[in-house]
Amino acid sequence: MILLSHVCKSFDGGKQFAVRDVSLTVGDGETLVLLGSSGCGKTTTLKMINRLVEPTSGRIEVDGRDVRARDVVQLRRGIGYVFQGIGLFPHMTVARNVELGLKLSGWAADARRQRITEMLELVGLAPAEFADRLPDELSGGQQQRVGVARALAPDPKYLLMDEPFGALDAVTRDGLQQQLLSLKTALRKTMVFVTHDIFEALTLGDRIAILHEGRLEQVAAPDEVLAHPKTSFVRELFAKPAKQLAAFREVL
């Protein structure tokens, strides 16, 4: 489980706060979506979980242990991270990019080769066709699949995803969302997924945590958020999507 308790983050010594008194939990095998507009604190919240950003105050626990009491390298080796910029090394082949975390975790050469094949197949990239390609020989969607494969390769218990599909076209994005749902069912990873897209949040989240100006407005299952928005901000945010979904259901 991931636990955040009264977490705050200021980058200017307390004059302003990017994250204000956020408390939430992410259960075992759950996908929690952090939803909000740019600057609401969702990415900062995500980065505090694996200590890419250190909290100003409050407590964050992973597996019942305060993350600040743990060695940061060991902490991050148990947490996969996928972000919008993908971050593939351009001079490395697809196989070598996927292999990075395995080498750092001490996997033997034979086991690494087998795992690379398994991961590429898992994300829908035929190893014989893609393993020896360089990133610039791939489409944006294919690059993002490699990023997911790399994050999953060392078999982390947790997966953090920071707007991983935000720069992709709608068709590619929809395909990757559906593939992520399949992976979620197959692997039972505990995931925290950041997005500003409401329909993406409704599609992927077991629960949605809505952030606004650094504050947590509501945490609930998608149907609960649509039916019973807790604040005026959440009500206004979901008013149009709720009408669109209702109209779509009528057509069906």
Q: What is the pLDDT of residues 184-225, one digit of tens each?
A: 888 889 999 999 999 999 999 999 999 999 999 999 999 999
- Confidence at 248, pLDDT banded by 50, 70, 90: low
Break the chain into its structural domains and give their ranges: 1-74+198-252
The fold of the 1-74+198-252 domain, in CATH, is Rossmann fold (3.40.50)
Residue 252 pLDDT greater than 60, yes or no: no
What pTM did the predictor assign?
0.90
pLDDT in tens, 69-112: 999 988 998 999 988 766 789 999 999 999 998 998 889 999 99
123: amino acid identity, one letter = V
Farthest-apart Cα atoms in the chain, separation: 56
Task: State phi, psi for 251 to the nearest 5 degrees.
Answer: -60, -45
Burial of 59 (0-12, 13-18, 19+ CB in 10 A): middle
Q: What is the pLDDT of residue 251?
A: 60
pLDDT in tens, 12-41: 999 999 999 999 999 999 999 999 988 999
